[in-house]
Amino acid sequence: VYVSSISKNNENIGVITLLQDITKSKEIDKMKTEFIATVSHEFKTPLTSIGMSVDLLSADKDINSNPMHKDLIRIIKEEKERMVYLIKDLLDLSKIETGKGQIKLENCKLKSILENSIEDLKNYCDEQEAEVILENIDENLSVYADPSKISLVIKNLISNAVKYRKENVKPKILIDIIKKSNNVIVSVKDNGRGIPQDYLEKIFEKFIQVKVSNDGKIEGTGLGLSICKGIIKAHNGEIWVESTVDKGSTFYFSLKSFN
């Protein structure tokens, strides 16, 4: 819908309203999503076979005695794992976009979700020397949400904070909440590299990735934040980010309060 006023001699004399039928565009988007889901699903079987074959080659002492062969097997394994993660993310995203990834909303304790999410990433954070701090949140604070889906959002935001760390600086992630009317806003603040201004509106789109290091190295599939956006949207909430380059980023998302 586009609305514009018409004026003459500084006096409004009418309004133009333009209506555009986007049904066809919606149908095309749905077809694209379903196609991606189908292709991704078909990739799972050959990737499983490739993984099993590479594991067998890795166990062969004669092959591994050759440094070049050993390095090639390592590359195949790494790329195979990258494809597995990409397919998983594509399937998750397609389920959300087509409404097949059902959200099971219930009255749940927010602090419990946050604590469990942090615990799931404990080994990863310890390896990366990352510190995750959960502020003193009321244990009785309840939200109307799907615990497993919100946990996925939290873990994704923590993982990104670690991945986009500043060189020679240990990642520090602070998780807090803000109560606002009937909503609870969760914030995940880091001390990382920050996000350039021209990326702030784009990073929740599919396959958008920000350069991780000075050599241009990029990790991940570029779908994590799209999945987060889809999950929060399915909760009738919003997700956004504030960031300053070299000072860090703070991601926010809102949920309906049950208290």
pLDDT at 207: 65
| Cα 80 from Cα 87, distance rounded (Å) | 11
> Which of 87-91, 174-178, 196-200, 217-221 has the weakest average pLDDT?
217-221
| Whether residue 215 has pLDDT greater than 50 | no
CATH 3.30.565.10 boundaries in the chain: 106-257
* 230: amino acid identity, one letter: G
Q: What ranges in the chain are assigned the alpha helix state H? A: 23-58, 61-64, 67-98, 110-120, 122-127, 147-163, 224-234
pLDDT at 68: 87
| Whether residue 248 has pLDDT greater than 50 | yes
| Cα 154 from Cα 149, distance rounded (Å) | 9
Q: Which two tokens stand for residue 120?
A: 């799931």
- Mean pLDDT of the region 1-8: 64
Question: 249: pLDDT confidence band, cut at 50, 70 and 90?
Answer: very high
SS3 66: coil
Residue 233 CA from chain centroid, whole number: 13
Question: 146: pLDDT confidence band, cut at 50, 70 and 90?
Answer: very high
Enter the pTM of the model.
0.70
Q: Look up the CATH architecture of domain 23-98.
A: Orthogonal Bundle (1.10)
| Mean of pLDDT over the chain | 83
| Whether residue 35 has pLDDT greater than 50 | yes
* 36: amino acid identity, one letter: I
pLDDT at 214: 45
Residue with tokens 């929060």: 232
pLDDT at 121: 94
- Mean pLDDT of the region 124-153: 93
Tell me the fold of 106-257.
Answer: Heat Shock Protein 90 (3.30.565)
- Mean pLDDT of the region 117-130: 94
pLDDT at 22: 61
Question: Are residues 145 and 106 in contact, defined by beta-carbon separation less than 8 angstroms?
Answer: yes
Number of residues that this document lists for the chain: 259
| Cα 242 from Cα 233, distance rounded (Å) | 19
CATH 1.10.287 boundaries in the chain: 23-98
| Cα 106 from Cα 195, distance rounded (Å) | 34
Residues whose CB is less than 8 angstroms from the CB of residue 242 and which lie 6 or more positions away in sequence, other chains included:
249, 250, 252
Q: Which two tokens stand for residue 60?
A: 């062969």
- Mean pLDDT of the region 75-79: 84
